[in-house]
Chain A
Amino acid sequence: MAISEEQVYAGISTVIDPEVGFDIVSLGLIYGVKIEGEHVHVTMTLSTRGCPLHELIKQWTKESVEKLEGVKTCEVEVVWEPAWNISMASDIVKKALEA
């Protein structure tokens, strides 16, 4: 059975940014998911350029998708445009950070 975008997002939402304490989907770091059969292409960003966790977060995202049933390979592309800002995060994250 083909995997859905929602399932991919659910898988990626298990990845937590250990500095901020929220999952990267709620933080609004995932810009897009493209499913081509059993291959998934994830476009994402990071909250800061030069983040020391850059490669780890990218790797965790890839692993979280490849773990899903119906996915064989996943490619993660990190982009810097448009630059991340807080308006991309979920309301829960916004509220928690501003508290």
Chain B
Amino acid sequence: MRGLATEMAPPFVLVAHFFIASVFFLMVSLGFLPFLFEETGGFFLTPNLASFAHLYLLGFVMMVIFGAMYQLVPVVLEVSVFSKDFAYIQFYMYVVGFVLLVVGLYTPSLTALIPYGAILTYVSMLIFCVNIFLTFGELEEINLVGKYLLVATIFLFISVTLGLFMGLVLGHGLFEINIISWVKAHAVGTLGGFVLMIVSGVALVLIPMFSLAHNFNDMASKIAFYLFCIFVPVSIAGYIFEFSKFLIVFAIFGVAFAVFATIYQLGLILAKRVRKQNDYWFKSLVFSFFSLFFSILVWLATFFVDIFRLPIVAGFLFCFGFLFPFIVGHIYKILPFLVWYDKFSPLVGKQKVPMLHDMIHANVADFQFWSMGFAVFAMLIGIVFQIYIVFVIGAIVMIFSGGLVLYNVYYTFTYKIKE
């Protein structure tokens, strides 16, 4: 055992930067949700959709992943993150960069901002990648979770490089590219290569830890790892170099099977769980993986059925049915630990300290889960049947659900020991 995971952990304030910003940008992006109905008819690339997707995915999803990575890498790998200063620089550069990018994508008269935003975002992500690579450089051996995190970061580097090229093309027309194909390559690299591999990797640590599961077979996650490693690059290359449709579909199916293997692995872990309580974390987890499964099925269907709304349905399920509850469920577990460690751990043995679950308002978290479930269902109905009012009701309930997340984040940060 090499060391002290807690001593190697980054300062609380660093990780808190990312978590607070992610919840802030979640709320900002949800605020745009009721106005996106027209985009759900099946148009592929509109300024509204592109700016919203980047606001939600960069502002909320990637932000929280960066924060979680800085917290989890020392725990998983038993090594300190190479540079905490790099992480601070990355944070501020990233916020400025992606906000410029989103404003440029959203405002037709300000498209000139896109390349500047793209460059800043790119450099900030490059700093993240270099920081992670140098951290891995200090290791003598890498376990399966470490391999997931390392390969995911390589895919992030590749796909943000594609994003930078697209930003330069959109801003200045510097290159001649098939933008639709590049967007697809960028999406597969970022979502399939980075986000899903990070989720698969951290799930192998966090889910057994929170559910107290032991003695499960991890063969499915090993298979998933190799499927991701083979088929994500082939899919990206397929779109960029315009391979035959057969080869692209084959590669996409490979990525899909990697996801199915991950979901199966989750089922194996949960089947061995000792903690049987179906709390807000467990419900969020199950909901998110069911949504992921259906999202991937719909995505595969888009290659065979020419219904232009299908990609929107797949993307919607992925973003709001999968990512939102998965991240929120884990915020309810990770944030109390961070605050507790900073605020209450020095008091252990001197006075009564709270348990981690005390630092989340359970009823609010439960209500948040059910309202999120209702909102996802309503918006899905609204998208599939193109019913404006149902979509808007769902979007408003989703904002409400996000507000409940915000409340619990505030509750955790300001938690005081009860006399």
Contact = CB atoms under 8 A, between A and B. Distances in A.
B214 interface: yes
B208 A63 contact: no
Contact of A20 (B4, B205, B212, B337): B212
A26 B403 CA distance: 39
Interface stretch (A1-9, A31-39, A68-76, A79-87): A79-87
A55 B1 CA distance: 11
A95 to B, nearest CB: 11
A53 interface: yes
Given A48-B208, A60-B349, 12 more contacts: A16-B355, A18-B355, A19-B337, A50-B5, A50-B75, A50-B76, A50-B78, A52-B341, A55-B6, A55-B7, A56-B341, A64-B349
B144 to A, nearest CB: 12
Interface string A77-99: 01000011110000000000111
A99 B212 CA distance: 14
Interface stretch (B34-42, B269-277, B384-392): B269-277
A65 B208 CA distance: 30
B183 to A, nearest CB: 37
B212 A97 contact: yes
A98 B274 contact: yes
Given A19-B356, A97-B212, A97-B275, A52 B349 contact: no
A51 B337 CA distance: 11
B353 interface: yes
B218 to A, nearest CB: 13
Contacts of B353: 18
8 contacts: A18-B356, A19-B337, A51-B5, A54-B4, A55-B4, A56-B341, A78-B1, A86-B212
B305 interface: no
Interface residues of A, number: 26
Interface of B: 1, 4-7, 9, 75-76, 78, 205, 208-210, 212, 214-215, 274-277, 337, 340-341, 345, 348-349, 353-357
A83 B281 CA distance: 25
Contact of B277 (A63, A84, A99): A99
Chain A binding surface SS class: loop
Given A47-B212, A60-B349, A98-B274, A55 B5 contact: yes
Given A55-B6, A99-B277, A21 B76 contact: no
B5 A52 contact: yes
A41 to B, nearest CB: 17
Nearest to A19: B356
B276 A97 contact: yes
A46 to B, nearest CB: 10
Given A18-B355, A60-B349, A64-B349, A52 B9 contact: yes
- Of A47, A52, A54, A97, chain B has the most CB atoms within 10 Å of the CB of A52
A96 B276 CA distance: 9
Contacts of A60: 348-349
A51 B209 contact: yes
B340 to A, nearest CB: 6
A5 to B, nearest CB: 22
B141 to A, nearest CB: 15
A50 B349 contact: no
Contacts of B214: 83-86
A52 B212 contact: no
A16 B344 CA distance: 13
A21 B355 contact: yes
Contacts of B75: 50-52
A21 B6 CA distance: 19
Contacts of A51: 5, 75, 209
A88 to B, nearest CB: 11
Contacts of B4: 54-55
Contacts of A53: 6
- Of A16, A48, A50, A84, chain B has the most CB atoms within 10 Å of the CB of A50
B365 to A, nearest CB: 16
